[in-house]
Amino acid sequence: MEIKSRKNKRTSILVILAILLVSSISGNFYFISKNFSVIKNYDEFFQKYQEKQQDFDSLQEKLLNLEKDLNQISQVEEDIIKIKQEYFATIKQLEDDILSGKSDQKIAYLTFDDGPYYNTYQFLNVLDHYNVKATFFTTSINGEKCYDKKSENCLLLYQEYIKRGHTIANHTFTHGIYRGLYNSTESFITAVKRQEEVVQEYTKIGYTTNIVRFPGGSRTSGRLKNEIIEELRKMNYGWVDWTAQDGDGGTLNSKEQAWNTFTSSIDENIEVVLFHDYNNITLSILPDAIEYLQKQGYLLFPLFYESNMVQK
């Protein structure tokens, strides 16, 4: 019995040891299997990481190239501003010499009110033909669609003015001479600011104008004139009326009438000529008007803030 009991104990111990051994081997196998899976997942992760890193490096290179391009664009913009400043400074000096009698040269500034219109493209083409730069006093009274061609978007003309080298000026958002524009100084200044925003937005380059023309002329503002001018000064705006015209802002019945009105109004050494780019009679005399001014010895320029003709 004792021998049998010892055999049973020995067998039990062997069984327990076998169980422990199997458990140990099984546990190690699970640990190894689990870690092998981790290692395998790590390789996949690392491969994806490398791919993303390559994508990042590629985008970083593109970003650096874009920054270089932007720096070049900024430099070009700075050069343009500098050239314009020098250009206008030269004209200002010529103006001073003319006004002081040191120069017998003459200057005419062609200005066009109330646009943009679809008809404005034809005016721009005439100016291009003669390589003449002008000033366009714009308003938003006509809205997005061209007043004279509803299927066209006239806001596109703001970029066209810039592309062709003309000056954009402010003619108020509403042009509402009889619709509240001159009810108060505040109503007028609000209309100027709103139009300034339109010019900045639709030129796509944040173009800032600092010249305004009173709709109807400065006298139309009546008793508010001095107060409005004081507010304009605070905004660094100058204002300008005109010294010559063809009468197209009123009743114009014929080309002959327009021509006679225009030529009889040209009598100063520095002229600011008022035209309207909706008027087909003006369009018909524009080539002759340009040639007439040039033959009379006038140099044709766009208006600029520093000009003696712009009141400040």
Residues 59 and 187 occupy one common structural domain: no
| Token couple for 182 | 């001159």
Backbone angles phi, psi at 245, to 5 degrees: -165, 170
Q: Domain residues for 54?
A: 1-71
Residues 6+ apart with CB under 8 A from 110: 127, 132, 134, 135, 273, 275, 290, 300
Indicate the average pLDDT of the chain.
Answer: 87
Residues 67 and 99 occupy one common structural domain: no
Residues 154 and 118 occupy one common structural domain: yes
Residues 114 and 50 occupy one common structural domain: no
Residues 58 and 203 occupy one common structural domain: no
**Which pLDDT does position 45 carry in this prediction?**
59
Residues 132 and 178 occupy one common structural domain: yes
17 band by pLDDT with thresholds 50, 70 and 90:
very low
Above 50 in pLDDT, residue 22? no
193 band by pLDDT with thresholds 50, 70 and 90:
very high
Residues 44 and 192 occupy one common structural domain: no
> What is the domain-level CATH number for residue 152?
3.20.20.370
Tens digits of residue pLDDT in 237-253 = 999 999 999 999 999 99
- Mean pLDDT, to the nearest integer, of 180-188? 98
CB 147 within 8 A of CB 117: yes
CB 148 within 8 A of CB 119: yes
CB 95 within 8 A of CB 107: yes
257 band by pLDDT with thresholds 50, 70 and 90:
very high
**Which pLDDT does position 2 carry in this prediction?**
42
Of 15, 42, 71, the residue at which a domain comes to its end is 71
Q: Does the predicted model carry a pTM greater than 0.75?
A: yes
Residues 59 and 106 occupy one common structural domain: no
Residues 166 and 267 occupy one common structural domain: yes
Residue 84 maps to a domain: no
Residue 67 maps to a domain: yes
Residue 276 maps to a domain: yes
Specify the range with the lowest mean pLDDT, choosing from 21-35, 167-181, 207-221: 21-35
Backbone angles phi, psi at 128, to 5 degrees: -60, -40
59 band by pLDDT with thresholds 50, 70 and 90:
confident
Residue 175 maps to a domain: yes
Specify the range with the lowest mean pLDDT, choosing from 58-72, 93-107, 213-227, 297-311: 58-72
Between these two residues, 208 and 11, which has the higher pLDDT value? 208
Residues 189 and 286 occupy one common structural domain: yes
Specify the range with the lowest mean pLDDT, choosing from 47-56, 112-121, 214-223, 286-295: 47-56
**Which pLDDT does position 18 carry in this prediction?**
47
Residues 64 and 99 occupy one common structural domain: no
Above 90 in pLDDT, residue 114? yes
- Mean pLDDT, to the nearest integer, of 273-287? 98
Residue 77 maps to a domain: no
The number of domains in the chain is 2
Residues 134 and 16 occupy one common structural domain: no
From residue 221, give the alpha-carbon distance in Å to each of 64, 176, 214. Answer: 54, 11, 8
Angle between helix axes 120-129 and 280-295 (nearest 10 degrees) is 20
Residue 82 maps to a domain: no
Q: Give me the torsion for CA of 193, 195, 196, 202, rounded to 10°.
A: 150
Which 8-state DSSP code applies to residue 141? Answer: T
**Which pLDDT does position 3 carry in this prediction?**
41
Residue 76 maps to a domain: no
Above 90 in pLDDT, residue 290? yes
56 band by pLDDT with thresholds 50, 70 and 90:
low
Residue 135 maps to a domain: yes
